[in-house]
Amino acid sequence: MNSIKSARLRGVPIAEKLAIKSVTSESGCRLWVGSVSPKGYGVLEVNKKARFTHRVAYEIAYGPIPDGLLVCHRCDTPACINPEHLFLGTNADNMADMVSKNRQARIRGEGHVRAKLNLEQVHAILASDKTNLALAVEYGVSKSLISHIRTGRNWHYVERADAPPKA
């Protein structure tokens, strides 16, 4: 936190700090404009401990957060501290919310940490008339991976020569 700004706000009640260091957006989000984490969540010092501002705002509006629960954003805006945009949920609830809104990261192909092949190799496999076993030995992967590539279970987004053109 910027020491000059935080020194000016020493002794100011937490609820007032949240109001002073936030602005309302057109979407209705109350955006924290103070310090933020690398992922964009507001951070505020409370009793000499760094706290996420959305959690603090939730507690001020609704009371303590039960152990094991997260404060999630309906608006999907990490800096938002509008209590109307916040709800409690488990990690599973938060992940389900993310998936339902199609916000999950999709790292696929050779950029994926577990990728064993690159795009050029996948194209060669798709174009080959060799057996799955021969290709598995050639590329040092399992026969089932070759089969999954050929049937579209893996690398399904790669253009296939025998596939109908996309509209």
The span from the CA of 67 to the CA of 94, in Å, is 15
- CA-wise closest residue to 141 among 123, 160, 156, 122: 122
The span from the CA of 20 to the CA of 30, in Å, is 11
The span from the CA of 32 to the CA of 23, in Å, is 7
pLDDT of 111 = 78
Same domain for 15 and 77: yes
Contact (Cβ atoms closer than 8 angstroms) between residue 42 and residue 53:
yes
- CA-wise closest residue to 13 among 36, 44, 58, 37: 44
Q: How many domains does the chain have?
A: 2
Domain boundary among 78, 100, 122: 100
pLDDT of 80 = 96
Residues lower than pLDDT 70 in the chain: 1-9, 105, 162-167
pLDDT of 12 = 81
Q: Which domain holds residue 129?
A: 106-167
pLDDT of 8 = 53
Q: What is the pLDDT of residues 92-134, one digit of tens each?
A: 998 998 888 877 767 778 877 788 899 999 999 999 999 999 9
Contact (Cβ atoms closer than 8 angstroms) between residue 62 and residue 52:
no
Same domain for 114 and 32: no
User: Residue 72: in which H helix or E strand, if any?
Assistant: strand 70-73
pLDDT of 53 = 96
Domain boundary among 51, 66, 100: 100
